[in-house]
Amino acid sequence: MTISFILNGEDVSLNARSYDRLADALREHFGLLGVKADCRRGVCGKCLILLDGRLAPSCLLPVFRVRGREVITIEGFSQTDEFADIMKGFAEAGLETCGFCDSGKILATAALLERQARPSAREILEEMASVPCRCTDPETMVKGVQAAAELKARRHYRRASQ
Amino acid sequence: MRASEVYFPDSLPALLDLVRRMPDAVIYSGGTEILRGQSEPYARLPPEVISICGLSELRQVALTERFVEIGACVTIAEILELRENAVPELFALALRGIGTPALRSLATIGGNLASTSRFMDAWPALACLDALVELRDASGSRWVNVNRLAGSDGAPDFPAGNILVRLRLPLDRWDLVVLRKVGTRDYPSKDTAVFALATKAEKGILSEFRLAFAGQIALRLREIESKFIGRRLPLESKQRSAFAEEYHEAAADLSPRLRLQFGTLVDGVLDLLSR
Amino acid sequence: MMEAERDAEGFSLSLTDISFEGMLHISTVRSPVARGRIRSVTPPRLPAGYRLILPSDIPGKNHILSFGAEVPILAAERASYRGEPVALVVGANPLVAAELARSTVVDCEEEEAVLSWESFSSEQVLSKRIAVMGDPDLAFSIAEETIEGTYRSGASEHLYSEPQGSVASFDYDKLGVWCATQWPYHVRDSVAIALGCKNEEVVVRPTRLGVHMDGKLWYPSLLSCHAAIAAYLVRKPSRIFLTREEDFLYSPKRARSSITLRAALDSTGRISAVDARVAVNVGAYGPLAEETLSQICLAAPGAYACPNLRVEGYAVTTNDPPMGAFGGLGASQAFFAAEATAALLAQESGEDPIDWKSRNVLRKGSLLITGEALKDEPPYEAIALRLAAASDFHRKYACYELVRKRRSGRADGPLRGIGFAFAYQGAGSFLTGDSPNSYTVEVSLEKDLTITIRTSAAACKPSVRAIWKRTAALLLDIPIDSVAVAPPDTDKAPNSGPVTLSRGVTVVNRLVEKACENIQKRRFRDPLPLTAKSVYRVPKPIRWENGRVEGSLFETASWGGAIVEVELDPWTLEPIPLSVWICVDGGLIVSRSHAESALRSGSADAIGLCVRERLDIASGAVTEEDYLSYGLMSPADLPPIHVELCETEKRPKSKGIGELPFDTIPPAFLAAVSQAAGTPFRELPVRPEDLSVVAEEA
């Protein structure tokens, strides 16, 4: 079946079989290697995408599930101002990651900041449960997200003032 | 690998028509229950799949002073984002224990309740709260108490050929609510279950006592619960022992580990009521 | 030489993303039995382009050498564990290859699996360690008090950042191998043995390693042999990449251990004797048996002074899958038993544990198990006082003790406990067996005044590479942005040994220092570029002979303590960690923020081991149910983790600190839970069956 959806801001169509997982389709058909199909159970966070702005594990989405929806991967998100806020916030906090969970942590931060401009430490840690990783230092993670939130808020304020 | 036929009904009547014509088709809502236990590259799906997540009729939320109604395709995450106190605390506690935020963005309340293999996290809390679900089939629609989704043998008993359209939750006040998930949190194994308790007391006398425990099978023992009503608190030692014995006996069909954990939970409740 | 894509620093990408044109995919045919004679391996009809690889197809030797053990690349005549690789299927479509592998029939004459390891036969003993110091029998016979307990540590899964795998591809006369490995040279040498070629004909290009938890010390070499053999036979790039599930089911786990510890106190309340009996289940082949057993036995007395000591340890082979390292080589399991024993002794004496330990802890001049005297004073008071102050330990411990003794049931209120543990992490511990006799690091000062550091250990964390860069920049007075670490490819970087036991911060950093010092002496007199090689000769390994331990326990040690406070959930009685305090004296800390962050993430992992991570492997294999149920603790469920670093040495050196959370937090947690429950537990996580004791007492 042909499934049409919006991928990283562009209209795309894919001839997909019912059993194709979105994670694999993004990697193999669209070359978006930032998505990694690791556990295939929706628990490791390495395949996370934004589906209509919400964090979702793409390994648990058959391609047909995104018909008519908007999908953003880390590649698409990396072109945004929010991405820059998050990277800078993480750097300010000195957040070090293992290199495998970065995309998940960035998108989880993006999804959270979309709902909550100033998330609490508890809210941040709950959101990061979507990307469990042994490299996570909870305190620095919280600082990184809060720093990103601050940068995003200031950028919006500057824009509003112009 | 054989491809499935996937249907995308654009209205509730269209969905019902598909269900009538293909009684063996699987309703695909969030899909988390279907895919979570699978780790092969391809998604193993039944021959016929009806994808309903786009149906707006199943995504409505209505809030009144006395109850809240939630459409079957509203996701767990969306329910938790409703304004404070929009849903009963016991229900919110149950939903927060489901998976991770990313999983909750996909999982729907309808999918959670309509599971036929086991009881998922929401059922015990909804059973205690006497929630209702609207079921629809070819002959029409009706409201059914969530407790009737468990058969007399305790196994899930979602009626075949029916669509779960929405959930209605009374917004009563409770004095004590307890929600605990035991066993493995991330994956519903045979030793995973959820315990829910809701009680009310007026002037030191128990006016409501509801307790549900469900995993692969459900325990909701109204005949024992009715014996609590009207009891003065704190419970006397003899009463406490009698209730403990009744509950422990009723748990005989649970797995040894769940029986143990259920016993610990019940003893904790009885300890509290005996203080 | 064929090249895969690299990142901005020049390091290979993660293995998941490496792909070559025409690459074929390998799937593993596995033994269905834990023990037995392999009669035949019969594939289904193979489509064109797919082939089966059998042990007889291996051009070189059919084994890898792993720290004294020989592990078959493909089991030929006998299967020794369920899931053991027996053959490979290779072809263009990974799913077809997987299906063909699944459908291949491995006909075995099954024998009864040997799974018992706490009691075992002499044939099962792969390694034995015995050491006696003083006269423990006499000390026990005149002891004022003795205590005995058996402490078990279960298997754990590494849950590293990326499942294991390897890609191999021939390019003219060389074979390129891409894999995530802690030890590139071990991969290189193993593949050369398997192919029957020279080491130099194999070039390993390590991919991003991420978090490894010591699960990628030797296993990548096995998978690389599979990839290399396939590439050799089919003459195409070949890739083996375990799915997460397959990795979980079949890759090595932490070795299970059982330590029976008996301790005696004299009339002054001091430890007069310790008798430790250690059994470690190293599974089939026991690739790290010697090292694991040594580490556990050496740490068996804990951080306590003990004049009379007997340690008897056995590495026991079974038909479980091969087991091995997990966040270190086993010392944490020994500290678990030692600290649990100390907690009970303190409790029975009625004394505050911090005070009790102060009387018994190692001091400068204390005799160690090796017979040497401890050179430096352990910073016990500095660490214990800081922790006690931060956590209000003394008051809480006394209060919870009172509740424990007087409680009649859980209706009396929340059941809480607080525990304290103290341990060390030896620096300069070396892996023996296949380790080279020396480790090398090269540093070059180029004409453009940039610095290049070359070491095979560069696969480690970026923060460790940053430490090397900082060291070089400071010593050579060059901006840090002008310092680069070359990728750890084996045709470019010298053999600096495995990335483990915090060697990056200790051994390798010192080698970088020495090389830079050498360059600094020459730079204004000799023309650029200048290259200095810094070589570290591995000291003689510890020897266990005639009931004695000879050698040096450690060159230096970092010391740490942890306090954990828990509360039993009022409804389920499951222990909930309320707070963790950890204080470490790690010598010279180059970056405090990185050290604190590493301790926090290590503490989070250690708490996860206490609360939920455990595999029972009861039937000789990890099951699918285990895979679906196992997981890390949610960050939202973690307690606050308070980290302090203290520096007590006058001339501190860099030391490793990464194992200290695993050495200290589990025993502190155990002590806290035991106090809260009013009953001594001996293993973690505490199971519902164990908690029912608390419910019954209530």
Tell me, what CATH number does A72's domain have? 3.10.20.30
Q: Give per-residue burial for C20-42: e unless 16+ CB within 10 Å, then b.
A: beebbbbbbbbbbbbbbebeebe
**B1-5, B179-183, C430-434, C554-558: which is most confident:** B179-183
**Residue C66: pLDDT band by 50, 70, 90 thresholds?**
confident
Question: Where is the domain boundary, A46, A77, A108?
Answer: A77
**Which pLDDT value is given to residue C139?**
97
- Residue A132 has its nearest CB partner, among C461, C634, C641, at C634
Q: Which residue has the tokens 């030793």?
A: B191
**Mean per-residue pLDDT of chain C:** 92
The pLDDT tens digits of the residues spanning C447-484 come to: 999 999 999 998 788 888 988 999 999 999 999 999 99
- By the 8 A CB rule, do C590 and C645 touch? no
Do C337 and C229 belong to one domain? no
- List chain C residues with CB under 8 Å of B268: 410, 570-573
Compute the nearest-CA separation of C357 from chain A (Å): 30
Q: Is pLDDT above 90 for C435? A: no
Do C245 and C264 belong to one domain? no
pLDDT > 90 fraction of chain C, expressed in percent and rounded: 78
Do A65 and A99 belong to one domain? no
- Residue B101 has its nearest CB partner, among A37, A62, A129, at A129
Do C320 and C280 belong to one domain? yes
Whether residue B38 lies within 8 A of chain A, CB to CB, comes out as yes
Chains touching chain C at 3 or more Cβ pairs under 8 angstroms?
A, B
The answer to whether domain B178-274 has CATH 2.60.120.10 is: no
Q: Is pLDDT above 60 for C433? A: no
Report yes or no on C118 lying in a domain.
Answer: no
The pLDDT tens digits of the residues spanning C331-340 come to: 999 999 999 9
DSSP-derived 3-state class of residue C569 = coil
The pLDDT tens digits of the residues spanning C310-324 come to: 999 999 999 999 998
Measuring CA to CA, which residue among C343, C394, C268, C323 is closest to residue C126?
A: C323
- List chain C residues with CB under 8 Å of B100: 634
Angle subtended by helix axes A138-161 and C592-611, to nearest 10: 120
The residues, ordered by sequence, that sit 6+ positions from A134 with a Cβ below 8 Å of its Cβ are A98, C159, C160, C161, C211, C213, C601, C604, C605, C632
The pLDDT tens digits of the residues spanning B107-148 come to: 999 999 999 899 999 999 999 999 999 999 989 999 999 999
Domain around A16: 2-77
Provide the edge-to-edge strand list for the sheet that holds B132-137: B61-63, B67-71, B163-170, B132-137, B140-145
Do A59 and A98 belong to one domain? no
> Which pair of structure tokens corresponds to residue C360?
């018994």
Report yes or no on C144 lying in a domain.
Answer: no
Phi, psi for residue B209 in degrees, rounded to 5: -150, 115
What is the mean predicted confidence (pLDDT) over B254-265?
A: 93
Please answer yes or no on whether A96 and C632 come within 8 Å at the CB atom.
no
**Residue C695: pLDDT band by 50, 70, 90 thresholds?**
low
Residue C445 CB neighbours (<10 A): 25
Find residues 211-270 of chain C whose CB sits inside 8 Å of chain B.
243-245
**Residue C698: pLDDT band by 50, 70, 90 thresholds?**
low
- Residue A19 has its nearest CB partner, among B3, B32, B101, at B3
In CATH, what number is assigned to the domain containing residue A144?
1.10.150.120
Compute the nearest-CA separation of C289 from chain A (Å): 26
The pLDDT tens digits of the residues spanning A14-41 come to: 999 999 999 999 999 999 999 999 999 9
Do A57 and A124 belong to one domain? no
The pLDDT tens digits of the residues spanning A77-135 come to: 999 999 999 999 999 999 989 999 999 999 999 999 999 999 999 999 999 999 999 99
Compute the nearest-CA separation of C108 from chain A (Å): 31
Number of domains present in the structure of chain C:
3
Report yes or no on C190 lying in a domain.
Answer: yes
* Smallest CA–CA distance from C248 into chain A, residue: A39
Whether residue B44 lies within 8 A of chain A, CB to CB, comes out as yes
For residues C387 and C358, what is the distance between their CA atoms, to the nearest angstrom?
A: 14
For residues C400 and C675, what is the distance between their CA atoms, to the nearest angstrom?
A: 7
- List chain C residues with CB under 8 Å of A125: 634-636, 638
**Residue C429: pLDDT band by 50, 70, 90 thresholds?**
low
Do A94 and A133 belong to one domain? yes
Question: Predicted ipTM?
Answer: 0.95
**Residue C432: pLDDT band by 50, 70, 90 thresholds?**
low
Report yes or no on C140 lying in a domain.
Answer: no
**Which pLDDT value is given to residue A161?**
84
Find residues 15-44 of chain A whose CB sits inside 8 Å of chain C.
33, 36, 38-41, 43-44
The C-alpha torsion from C485 through C487 and C490 to C496, rounded to 10°, is 40
- Residue B102 has its nearest CB partner, among A18, A68, A130, at A130
The C-alpha torsion from C391 through C394 and C395 to C401, rounded to 10°, is 120
Phi, psi for residue C160 in degrees, rounded to 5: -65, 175
Report yes or no on C226 lying in a domain.
Answer: yes
Counting one residue from chain B and one from chain C, the pairs whose CB atoms sit within 8 A come to 65
Do A50 and A35 belong to one domain? yes
Please answer yes or no on whether A56 and B51 come within 8 Å at the CB atom.
no
AA letter at C579: S
> Which pair of structure tokens corresponds to residue A89?
């916030």
Q: Which of A39-48, A93-102, C106-115, C430-439 has the lowest mean pLDDT?
A: C430-439
Residue A160 CB neighbours (<10 A): 7
**Which pLDDT value is given to residue C267?**
93
Cα C656 to chain centroid, rounded: 13
Domain around C395: 253-429+550-697
Question: Where is the domain boundary, C516, C537, C558?
Answer: C537
Report yes or no on C4 lying in a domain.
Answer: no
Residue C621 CB neighbours (<10 A): 19
Say whether pTM exceeds 0.80: yes
Do A36 and A72 belong to one domain? yes
Do A91 and A66 belong to one domain? no
Whether residue C16 lies within 8 A of chain B, CB to CB, comes out as no
- List chain A residues with CB under 8 Å of C180: none
Q: Is pLDDT above 90 for C413? A: no
Question: Where is the domain boundary, C200, C227, C250?
Answer: C250
Compute the nearest-CA separation of A60 from chain B (Å): 6
> Which pair of structure tokens corresponds to residue A24?
């694999």
The residues, ordered by sequence, that sit 6+ positions from A150 with a Cβ below 8 Å of its Cβ are A89
Measuring CA to CA, which residue among C53, C55, C58 is closest to residue C100?
A: C53
Do A71 and A115 belong to one domain? no
Question: Where is the domain boundary, A57, A77, A97?
Answer: A77
Reduced DSSP (H G I as helix, E B as strand, rest coil) percent helix, strand, coil of chain A, to 5: 50, 15, 35
Whether residue C625 lies within 8 A of chain B, CB to CB, comes out as yes
- Residue C159 has its nearest CB partner, among A96, A122, A134, at A134
Number of domains present in the structure of chain A:
2
For residues C538 and C637, the model is more confident at C637
- Residue B101 has its nearest CB partner, among A51, A67, A126, at A126
In CATH, what number is assigned to the domain containing residue C64?
3.30.365.10
* Smallest CA–CA distance from C631 into chain B, residue: B186
AA letter at B174: W
Do A85 and A156 belong to one domain? yes
Do A43 and A99 belong to one domain? no
Do C418 and C443 belong to one domain? no
Rg (CA), chain C: 26
Compute the nearest-CA separation of B147 from chain C (Å): 24
What is the mean predicted confidence (pLDDT) over C544-557?
A: 85
